Chains A and B, each alone.
Chain A
Amino acid sequence: MKPEPEQPVISLRGATATLGSRPVLRGVDLAVHRGEVVSLLGANGSGKSTAVRSVIGQVPLTGGSVDLFGTPLRRFRDWARVGYVPQRTTAASGVPATVYEVVSSGRLSRAKLRWPSKADRAAVHRAIELVGLADRAKDSVNALSGGQHQRVLIARALASEPELLIMDEPMAGVDLVSQEILATTLREQVVAGTTVLLVLHELGALEPLIDRAVVLRDGCVTHDGPPPRSLGQHALPGHDHVHPHSDSEPVRTGLLT
């Protein structure tokens, strides 16, 4: 089951991609090795989200190649080994659903068509416990706060007990207290050997966990190495700060809520 030690978990080589006619990735090379925690940083529109989504086949590449666990993406079928947290502000949909129901859908990559076993249900409960929502498992996701929505999305990704976690801006709109909880959850996963690739707007509470930062600018890698300590994205070239909080959502500081 374990790949060769040298073989990266994610290998993106010379990746190019376009949105409409605009090139978004212009030859991105990225290798993530087993047990690493790699953060993609960059300004809005730098291609970091596209890069992550191309790794899981949600954005078609116009050139280059992607390998997951040493298998070309086209032939990769073992999706239970990958946990994905898409960029979302809500885990809700048009019909009420409980935390347990939403997180359960992350287990389908292992359960497939068979009836969920005791082990499947236990894994779902464990994932909910990991993000600290055990007491809310039977509540509707509509009754949760923004930070709790992100925790549900992360629990859903953890339900398949993945070896690789891919997260697209998991901290967007999350208050400091929830950020700390997410950081603790992630630390436990990393200690257990999970590989992590995540897109971040700012390093924030996750900073101590990050092994390597890859900075994108205009679809090219401009930095691949230790994270820029305590500077986050604000010190990067070409960063124009867009305040993440919309008017409709009150700023959560952790002191007032």
Chain B
Amino acid sequence: MEILETAFMQRALLAAVLVGITAPAVGIYLVQRRQALMGDGIGHVAMTGVGLGFLLSANPVWMAALVSIAGAVAMELIRWYGRMRGDMALAMLFYGGMAGGVLLINLAPNGSNSNLTSYLFGSLSTVSDADVVAICLLAAFVMLVTVGLRRHLFAISQDEEFARVTGLPVRALNLLIAVTAAVTVTVAMRVVGLLLVSALMVVPVAAAQQITRSFKVTFVLAVVIGTAVTLAGTVTSYEYEVPPGATIVLLAIGVFFVLTALAGPLARRRSRTLSEADAGAPAGCSVEAGGLPDGSRPAYVAKV
């Protein structure tokens, strides 16, 4: 494969795979908590980090990680103590982060808004060796948390109040999700860019859950979709010289539509298997026996 011969494409593909795995892995918990836009909020805060990196001549990836972690933690704290609604807190992050980034980068001696562009929309050709090392370490951390603590993160994202009563350290776990999301954003920003990073956390999960019934399968399928679209998008962007972030996100949305279209027929096939297995139950409705003994409707007419 000639595409693998150039060093920058090797780095780009490695970074893309890591993003494809990590973004949906943490995104699924945000979607479960109905905080799908949280990643976008953190992405905006990371811009301030990038600006700060330029100003202090530090590695922008590490600086963005630090600042977005601080932003995500601040948002959790606002949720606990503040009287501010979640969407208001998110709005503050969006605008504050963006404004901070633009201001700081213009204060930097050799900085201008054009430096910011590669972080806003992703630019694989500028991924350095140091960036790849940072991305690998951060991705390892994200996978350790999202897979190792999946039962606990599932429980607090499913029902926070119940999780507190089971004695789980809910506050610590909430902070951990916030920090992990922030880390993921900085991993992904070189590939898809800060403005589209949230898409990779949300769209593969949304696509997967069109055809799944369990959390476990949704998790695995979302990661598979994430990996597939980042790889395909990276190669496409190399072949046709189009921006990688936009290509990857549009591919992911394409997968979402395909799976949504498949969901109907798939559910019908499942219900046929179900009704064959359950041959004793009447297939249609009748006055005397329209439902199962417990009064519920049979599964095969309930929902498609």
Which of A's residues lie within 8 Å of B, judged by CB?
A: 56-58, 77, 79-80, 82, 84, 86, 88, 91, 93-98, 101-102, 104-106, 108-109, 111, 113, 116, 132, 136, 138-140, 142-145, 147-148, 156, 160, 175-178, 181, 252, 254, 257
Contact = CB atoms under 8 A, between A and B. Distances in A.
B165 A138 contact: no
A93 B29 CA distance: 10
10 contacts: A80-B166, A84-B162, A86-B162, A93-B157, A93-B159, A94-B31, A95-B28, A105-B155, A105-B163, A108-B166
B302 interface: yes
B32 A257 contact: no
A86 B160 CA distance: 11
B32 A95 contact: yes
A93 B32 contact: yes
B297 A93 contact: no
B205 A77 contact: no
Question: Which 6 pairs between the two chains have the least Cβ-Cβ distance?
Answer: A79-B167, A177-B295, A105-B155, A140-B213, A109-B166, A84-B165
Contacts of B303: 142-143
Contacts of B209: 95-96
Nearest to B156: A105
Which of B32, B154, B162, B168 is the most central at the interface, judged by chain A CB atoms within 10 Å of its CB?
B162
B295 A178 contact: yes
A145 B296 contact: yes
B57 interface: no
Contacts of A136: 299
Contacts of B163: 105, 108
A98 B215 contact: yes
B198 to A, nearest CB: 15
A94 B32 contact: yes
A254 B168 contact: no
A97 B295 contact: no
B167 A77 contact: yes
Contact of B212 (A82, A96, A145, A156): A96
A27 to B, nearest CB: 25
Which of B34, B154, B167, B205 is the most central at the interface, judged by chain A CB atoms within 10 Å of its CB?
B167
A129 to B, nearest CB: 13
Contacts of A101: 154, 214-216
B296 A147 contact: yes
B239 interface: no
B166 A139 contact: no
Nearest to B161: A86
A113 B169 CA distance: 11
A28 to B, nearest CB: 20
Contacts of B294: 132, 177-178, 181
B194 to A, nearest CB: 23
Which of A79, A96, A109, A116 is the most central at the interface, judged by chain B CB atoms within 10 Å of its CB?
A96
Given A94-B32, A96-B213, A56 B165 contact: yes
A104 B296 contact: no
B159 A138 contact: no
Nearest to A98: B214
A144 B292 CA distance: 13
Contacts of B167: 77, 79-80, 109
Interface string B42-61: 00000000000000000000
A56 B36 CA distance: 30
Contacts of A84: 162, 165-166
Given A96-B215, A140-B213, 10 more contacts: A79-B167, A80-B167, A84-B165, A86-B161, A88-B159, A105-B154, A109-B167, A109-B168, A113-B152, A147-B295
B151 interface: yes
B268 interface: no
Given A94-B32, A143-B303, A177-B295, A105 B214 contact: no
B221 to A, nearest CB: 11
A91 B154 CA distance: 13
Contact of A94 (B33, B155, B166): B33
A104 B151 contact: yes
Contacts of B154: 97, 101, 105
Given A94-B32, A105-B154, A160 B166 contact: yes
Contacts of B164: 57-58
Nearest to A157: B162
A122 to B, nearest CB: 17
Contacts of A82: 165
A105 B165 CA distance: 11
Given A93-B33, A109-B167, A257 B214 contact: no
B78 to A, nearest CB: 19
B218 interface: yes
Nearest to A159: B166
A84 B159 CA distance: 12
Contacts of A109: 166-168
Contact of B302 (A104, A138, A143): A143
A169 B13 CA distance: 53
